[in-house]
Structure 1
Amino acid sequence: MAEISIIIPIYNTGKYIRECLQSVIDSVGFDMCEVILIDDGSTDDSVEIVKKTAGVYPNIALYQFANAGPSSARNHGMELAAGKYIYFLDSDDYLERDYLDKLYHAIEENQCDMVFAGFSKASEDRFAIQPVSRPILNETQIMSGIGYLNRRMDLGDWENRVWSMMFRRDFLLENHLCFDTEVFLYEDVLLINQALLYAKRICSVPTYGYQYRFRKESLVQGGVKEKDIEECIKVLQCFRTLCLELNQQQQKALGRVLFEHISMTLYYIGILKPDRKKEYYRQLQQTEILRILRKSITGKREWMKYLIFRYAIGMYYMLVKK
């Protein structure tokens, strides 16, 4: 049985999927991996590229489903996975040779539910590579998921990239953790922070070997649109629902996540024309998250955020932005 199940959704990534797959094949420990590629309705040559590669390597398999978005594709991959650990990879990115090996040894040797690592931003031509600063990676001790969540909030680390971590598959199954198929953007924010609320042991690996490719036509590089704001609000509503089943400690930790997510949402709203802002401010207040925020205040900064959000939401981001 495979030790690591690598799940890769595909949607019109063309030549990039070839480079992505080659980086997996060249990885240390490739032989102990199964690679599950989920085609999410590609119309270019991505599928043909994968089929040729899968014909050479028996541990690479392609599955095709209707175009239902990245959350659905990743969930299908999780259902098919048989490995002890699960790793998600985007099809237009690529890995350094020892990246998976470092994550695997950290999660296996420390008996963790999750392990976090860093990543680098790479240009389309792969020439310009810049590591993304993550202060939490300088603290490699093992801690609980809530401990980790609180610590990274203290350090201002708001990275939520599902491909910068590895999960123990049984941990995901036992806690019924999967991607929300109604969310098409920021689905990582939901899964990662929900997982942190339940994880008993996690650790960090100070490596930046995941190369996140900046593409001009990428879904997340096209500038802020109203769809982004709607998806942000949808995530807040999901968190509110989740809060109902959490204990007090978990609710308090989740509230700190909400403060960060609200700041991001209000930044996006602030970019819009004035006649569109009011409607989104109204929608945001209707998420009914004030009670969660009130219980999660840990200092003066969060008191300020809470009061402004409650009484003058339009001023929130302008006054508390970093």
Structure 2
Amino acid sequence: MNDLLSIIVPVYNNAKYLSQTLKSIQAQTYRTFELILVNDGSTDNSLEICRNAAGMDNRIIVIDKKNGGVSSARNRGLKIAKGKYISFVDGDDCIDSDMYRVMIDTLEAESADLVNCCVIKEENYKPISYKKEQSYVSTAPLNCLAKKGHFVDSSLNKVYTREIIGETCFDENISYSEDKLFVTEIFLKAKKVVFLDNIFYHYIQHKDSLSWQDNYDVWYGNFQVCKQIYTHIKSIESMDSEIKRGAFRGYVKSIIALLRYDIKNRDKDRYNSTLDAYKQDIDLFLQITPLPIAKRLEYKTYTISYFIASLVHYYFKRKK
């Protein structure tokens, strides 16, 4: 079927939420899909839920593999996907019933490489009735990587053509912000992208999910990805200078986020190590980037010393 959609769902200990996720996918008004459930070594009864669902719906394919992380699970799904179109859903999120019908209609009407919808973060799934919203077509996708309000960094709120994904896969050596790297690689190849103002994807924020975590590994993972993106984009001689500047801004802000985390958690040694390694990049950022005075002063305090940064961003805030 040349209009087949492959929906890839990595599953890892999602037993509490998986049935609702599957129900929202099976309720799609776009019916021509295969649903690839990749059980990534779950230790609860997620696999049983997947197999039971497959027994009642022949569009569902179940893969059971050893735990290797969300990137390895998505890549496994990509290897067997047969669809002309590809989409990803996490095993504890939900999507509205008209999502794929509207997005694929838009993709085909615009002859685009991918279409992106909006996302809502909520603790409990509340379906949103469909009504036509505004759309924006871009023939310069890289200029849209920083587009506000559309969760561009996420791989989940999109429908891609199989052709634009090609051999691109998720980096299995990265544990956090892997979506951002994958999406950037796709946008580097894309010629046309459509952004819908419709909210179709519901990012359910369970308290045991990564979205609630605030730890160094998360922020360091984001830094690694931003640095990798900047290094790649900077190396492309033909790349537009504004896109290079945007990648540089994202990279430096990821460094500042590391410094901010270490101030918050009173880790002086790690703070100083990070500042020693990347102070020149922050200084260059402050020299060439237009910023409001308050924001410039905020960033500048991180480059002076651990003592000054602590005074401004820790002790003064505690007294308020």
TM interval, shorter chain, is 0.7 to 0.9
Q: CA deviation at 1:11?
A: 0.3
**1:246 corresponds to 2:236:** yes
Number of residue equivalences: 303
- Give 1:10's aligned amino acid: V
Measured at CA, do residues 242 and 20 of structure 1 come closer, stay the same or move farther in structure 2, by a change above 3 Å? same
**1:144 corresponds to 2:150:** no
Other-structure match for 2:316: none
Deviations 1:272-310 (A, max 9, x none): 35652552563476479949x76x9574569959x9599
Provide runs of 4+ in structure 1 moved above 6 Å: 313-316
Out of 235-244 and 195-204, give the one that drifted further: 235-244
**1:184 corresponds to 2:183:** no
**1:165 corresponds to 2:158:** yes
Other-structure match for 1:14: 15
Other-structure match for 1:108: 108
Q: CA deviation at 1:267?
A: 3.2
**1:232 corresponds to 2:222:** yes
**Secondary structure, aligned partner of 1:178:** coil
Please say if residues 223 and 251 of structure 2, whose CA atoms lie closer than 8 Å, have aligned partners that are also in contact: no
Q: CA deviation at 1:190?
A: 1.1
The separation in 1 between residues aligned to 2:244 and 2:171, in whole angstroms, is 17
TM-score if structure 2 supplies the norm length? 0.80
Please say if residues 233 and 239 of structure 2, whose CA atoms lie closer than 8 Å, have aligned partners that are also in contact: no
1:199-218 equivalence runs, <5 A? 199-218=190-209
Identity of aligned residues (%): 24
**Secondary structure, aligned partner of 1:15:** coil
Please say if residues 7 and 74 of structure 1, whose CA atoms lie closer than 8 Å, have aligned partners that are also in contact: yes
- Give 1:78's aligned amino acid: L
The separation in 2 between residues aligned to 1:186 and 1:289, in whole angstroms, is 24
**Secondary structure, aligned partner of 2:115:** strand
**1:41 corresponds to 2:41:** yes
Other-structure match for 1:134: none
The correspondence for 2:256, drawn from 259, 266, 289, is 266
The separation in 2 between residues aligned to 1:243 and 1:210, in whole angstroms, is 29
- Give 2:216's aligned amino acid: E
Measured at CA, do residues 82 and 250 of structure 1 come closer, stay the same or move farther in structure 2, by a change above 3 Å? farther
Please say if residues 113 and 202 of structure 1, whose CA atoms lie closer than 8 Å, have aligned partners that are also in contact: yes
Please say if residues 115 and 204 of structure 1, whose CA atoms lie closer than 8 Å, have aligned partners that are also in contact: yes
**Secondary structure, aligned partner of 2:136:** coil
1:298-309 equivalence runs, <5 A? 299-300=290-291, 308=300
TM-score if structure 1 supplies the norm length? 0.80
Please say if residues 233 and 283 of structure 1, whose CA atoms lie closer than 8 Å, have aligned partners that are also in contact: no
Please say if residues 233 and 284 of structure 1, whose CA atoms lie closer than 8 Å, have aligned partners that are also in contact: no
Structure 2, unmatched stretches of 5+, are: 314-320
The separation in 2 between residues aligned to 1:179 and 1:255, in whole angstroms, is 25
- Give 2:114's aligned amino acid: M
Other-structure match for 1:24: 25
- Give 2:198's aligned amino acid: T
The separation in 1 between residues aligned to 2:305 and 2:102, in whole angstroms, is 44
Other-structure match for 2:318: none
Deviations 1:109-162 (A, max 9, x none): 1111111110112224x35x89xxxxxx85523432123336x2xx58665221
The separation in 1 between residues aligned to 2:219 and 2:208, in whole angstroms, is 19
**Secondary structure, aligned partner of 1:55:** helix
**Secondary structure, aligned partner of 1:36:** strand
Deviations 1:251-279 (A, max 9, x none): 64144144235425523542335652552
Measured at CA, do residues 281 and 199 of structure 1 come closer, stay the same or move farther in structure 2, by a change above 3 Å? farther
Structure 1, unmatched stretches of 5+, are: 131-136
* Superposition RMSD in Å: 3.5
Measured at CA, do residues 202 and 15 of structure 1 come closer, stay the same or move farther in structure 2, by a change above 3 Å? same
